[in-house]
Amino acid sequence: MSTFQAPKGTYDLIPPASATYLAVREALAAPLRRAGYGYVETPGFEHTELFARGVGESTDIVTKEMFTLTTKGGTELALRPEGTASVLRSALENSLHKLGNLPVKLWYSGSYYRYERPQKGRYRHFSQVGAEAIGAEDPALDAELIILAVDAYKSLGLRNFRLLLNSLGDKECRPAYRAALQDFLRALDLDDETRRRIEINPLRVLDDKRAEVQKQLTGAPLMRDHLCEACKAYHEQVRELLTAAGVAFEDDDKLVRGLDYYTRTTFEFVHDGLGSQSAVGGGGRYDGLSEMIGGPALPSVGWALGVDRTVLALEAEGVELELPAATQVYAVPLGEEARRTLFSLVTELRREGVAADFAFGGKGLKNAMKSANRSGARFALVAGERDLAGGVVQLKDLESGEQSPVALDAVVAELGRRLG
């Protein structure tokens, strides 16, 4: 055992469990690629100010949860706590919005970091697949992203997730709602930190998960009662498009998510099998974020889906993914000449797209066959001096136990036929 262990709140992804995580990432990304989203990858750390401006100085993410560091030159950096601000920064820096084809549609996958109390389903290091559509204000774009997420979840076999939907209005109608909400909240019995939040971003108080706070929020003003006509019409179009696509949703008037940049459409996917940490993904529209970080007006919408949370949801439903075999063929050489011959065969099989492995380390037949069975291989190739003298290798079906000689020059074709 090593002297060192993974830091608290983090984890290692190791086989065979890591294969499930890879399959989930692929399933979440596949609908995006089919819809014209291109892959983007950003640094694991950014200037702290990017998140302070974009995510919001009143959020728990910025005030309590960011991992920050100061370089030798005095620059303040932060490990990325979320993906949207980084992706938008990259799009602006690389002038993707000037190429004349809006919206810019991007997807990404990676690790993110937040300093919070570790618990099941909530880690200090976590993995997400995200998508952003930058530079267009269109309810069809909001609906598209939501539908792509729903299709991704369903492709994995998930069934017991729910979509919560809300509208947070825009710069025209939110100020009046903000004022009404502040008046209501100031009359409540709240702690000093929450009272400070009322003055910075009162909507965040609605997102407070503490029972003693939620109890007092009964009768709080609702955004839906303050939406302007344009926001009402926009939200209704999103709802109609989702309904037409067969996507079920629940209206949630208190859904604000945990980030300050959201406007209009806001949504969250929850799974009731995960307990208190029920969110598996979510997102929304962020029409003013580009200006917040120094860019031009670029109305945008996006989401992030948690890979870790999705894996937990699959486990809660008892869904087992059909994973590609890590090894289909395992080669067992008996003697030096067989090592050279079978190693060449394994290389050829791999180049033909067959997952093949080799008994390294000079294992005897018994131990090598144990390794073949542990690898999950369907077939074993076994060869000794007598086999090679006859120009054959033994092909053993590890499921049925049947074994038969196959000519050396026909091995690749025969395995291709048997593996389909």
> At residue 153, what is the residue type?
Y
Residue 325 is given by DSSP the state: P
How many other CB atoms are there within 10 angstroms of residue 13's CB atom?
13
Dihedral class, residue 28 (left if φ above 0, else alpha if ψ from -120 to 50, else beta) = alpha
- β-partners of residue 161 are 271
β-partners of residue 163 are 269
Three-state secondary structure call for residue 379? strand
128 belongs to an annotated ligand binding site: yes
With a CB cutoff of 8 Å and minimum separation 6, the contacts of 96 are 90, 104, 106, 134
Question: Is 100 assigned a ligand-binding role in the annotation?
Answer: no
Q: Of 134, 168, 145, 155, whose CA–CA distance to 56 is shortest?
A: 168
Which candidate, 294, 296, 297, 314, places its Cα nearest to that of 305?
314
Structure token digits, residue 18 = 């890591």
Q: Would the annotation count 84 as a binding residue? A: yes
* Partners of residue 251 on adjacent β-strands: 165
Q: Is 114 annotated as a binding residue?
A: yes
The rounded distance, in Å, linking the Cα atoms of 345 and 333 is 11
First to last CA, the chain: 42
**Number of residues in the chain:** 420
Q: Does the annotation place 262 within a ligand binding site?
A: yes
* Known binding residues for L-histidine: 82-84, 114, 128, 132, 257, 261-262
Residue list for the binding site: 82-84, 114, 128, 132, 257, 261-262
